[in-house]
Amino acid sequence: MLTIVYFAWVRERIGLDEEQVARPELGATVADLVAGLAARGGGYAEALGDATRLRAALDQRFVGLDTVIGDARELALFPPVTGG
């Protein structure tokens, strides 16, 4: 299983803090998984339909959406962070 943790407006639109999903197929990327989740429709489509608005971390390390999930245990999805 893979734990997905949602933050900020991603969490608000989906309505979950986190969930567990079946581990994706070997070679699947973060973008592949996000597309599959968005295909669920509803809040998932609203939050994840435009992957360019997302950032990701695998096992608490920032990664690009083209990163292979591999044997990671946790995927975090969140909006871009700005600072000042």
Kindly report, residue by residue over 5-42, the tens digit of the pLDDT.
999 999 999 999 999 999 999 999 999 999 999 999 99
Does 8 reside within a domain? yes
Q: What are the helix (H) ranges across 1-84?
A: 8-14, 30-38, 42-48
Task: Quote the number of domains for the chain.
Answer: 1
Range of the domain at 19: 2-78
pLDDT at 82 > cutoff 60:
no
CATH of the domain at 55: 3.10.20.30
pLDDT in tens, 51-65: 999 999 999 999 999
The pLDDT assigned to 81 comes to 73
